[in-house]
Amino acid sequence: MANTPDTTDSNAAIHQSVHDLLLPLARLCLAKGIPFAATQELLKRAFVDAAREGTQATRDISRVSTATGINRREVARLTSMEGSAPALARRSPATQVFTRWLSDRRLRARDGSPKPLRRQGPAPSFEALAQSITRDVHPRSLLEDICRLGLATFDEETDTVILVRDAFVPRDDERRLYRFLGSNVGDHMSAAVENVLSDDGPVHLEQAVFADQLSEESLAAARKLVRAQWKELLASVVPELEALIKADADSQRVADRRVRIGMYSYHSPMQAETTNPEKNK
C-alpha cells in the first residue's frame, strides 16, 4: 500500500525527531571513544527490551524478532544477557543530606543560602541533619563523604561544616555522573514519549519555554533566574514529598511507585538551531 501524504509527513516528522534525540547521544559516544558497533549493540538491546515490555510472552523470541526486525539468533543472544543492565541510580545518604540541607527552610539563612552548621550537637547541626536521614551510617562518615564529593567543607578551627555547592553534579565520580545522565534524561524522554504515544492525552508534565534573540548579558540573567527558580522548587517540593512518604508508611499503603521531578535549561548560538524546522516557524 502506498503511503498517503499524511503518513509520509508523519514518518518524516518521526524520523527527524529520532535524529534530534540521537544526535546528542552520538556526540557523547564520540567524545568518550565509544565506537558505532558498541552503540549499535546497546541499541539492539534497547529494542529487544522495549519489545519484551509490550508482550506478556516476554521470552517469545519469534514475537520479539518480528516486532524489532532483529533476527531470532540475535534476539536469543540478547535475551540471554538479562540482568546485566545496571539498576537505576539511587540516592546515597550523602546526597540525601545535601538535598535536605538545601531544601529545609530551617537550615537556610534569610537570603536563602544554606547556613553553616556546627559539627555536633542538637539541631541545627550537621550531626542532627545526618541522623534525620539515617542512623545506619555514622555522621562522621557522612561528613567525610560529603566533603569527598566536594559538596561541603569542614572548618576544624570553628568546628563547622559549610555547604559550598548548590547542585549535585559529581564531577569527581564519573560512574555516578553517567548514571545520573542516564536516569535523568531517560525519565525525561520516557515522559515525553509516553505523552506522544498516549491515546488519552498527556499523562506526564513535560513542558518547556524557549526564547531567542538574546544577548550574552541577557542569557546570563536568564541562567541566574533559572537557578533561583530551581532552588525555590527544591525547597517547596522536597518537604512535601517527604511528608507523603511518611504518610504512606504510617498508613501502610502499598508504596510501589516512584517519581522524578526536574528542571533543565539549555542554551546555544542561534546559528546552531537553524536546521531545526520546528524552531523556525
Report cis status (omega within 30 of 0) of the bond before 124.
Answer: yes
Annotate 201-248 with DSSP letters as a single string.
Answer: S--S--------S--HHHHHHHHHHHHHHHHHHHHHHHHHHHHHHHHH
The better pLDDT of the pair 7, 153 is held by 153
Asked whether residue 185 is domain-assigned, the answer is: no
Asked whether residue 188 is domain-assigned, the answer is: no
Asked whether residue 131 is domain-assigned, the answer is: yes
Residues 271 and 229 in one domain: yes
- Per-residue pLDDT of 177-198, as tens digits, reads 788 889 999 999 999 999 999 9
Residues 280 and 214 in one domain: yes
Asked whether residue 16 is domain-assigned, the answer is: no
Number of domain units in the chain:
3
Say yes or no to pLDDT of 275 above 80. no
- Sorted by sequence, the CB contacts under 8 Å of residue 236 that are 6+ apart come out as none
- Would you call 42 helix, strand, or coil by DSSP? helix
Q: What is the rounded CA–CA span in Å between residue 237 and residue 185?
A: 20
Asked whether residue 213 is domain-assigned, the answer is: yes
Say yes or no to pLDDT of 90 above 80. no
Asked whether residue 12 is domain-assigned, the answer is: no
Entry pTM: 0.69
Strand partners, 152: 163
From 163, 182, 217, give the residue that closes a domain: 163
Lowest-confidence segment of 37-51, 161-175, 218-232 by average pLDDT: 161-175
Asked whether residue 27 is domain-assigned, the answer is: yes
The better pLDDT of the pair 249, 85 is held by 249
Residues 103 and 69 in one domain: no
Say yes or no to pLDDT of 278 above 60. no
The better pLDDT of the pair 8, 35 is held by 35
From 131, 163, 195, give the residue that closes a domain: 163
Cell numbers representing residue 115 in the block: 547556613
Residues 127 and 149 in one domain: yes
Residues 117 and 77 in one domain: no
Q: What is the rounded CA–CA span in Å between residue 199 and residue 194?
A: 10
Residues 76 and 123 in one domain: no
Q: Which domain holds residue 101?
A: 93-163
Residues 60 and 76 in one domain: yes
- Per-residue pLDDT of 112-123, as tens digits, reads 788 999 999 999
Residues 212 and 280 in one domain: yes
| pLDDT, average across residues 193-221 | 93
Residues 81 and 109 in one domain: no
Asked whether residue 173 is domain-assigned, the answer is: no
- Percent residues over pLDDT 70 in the chain: 86
From 63, 85, 107, give the residue that closes a domain: 85
Residues 51 and 99 in one domain: no
Residues 70 and 102 in one domain: no
Residues 159 and 228 in one domain: no
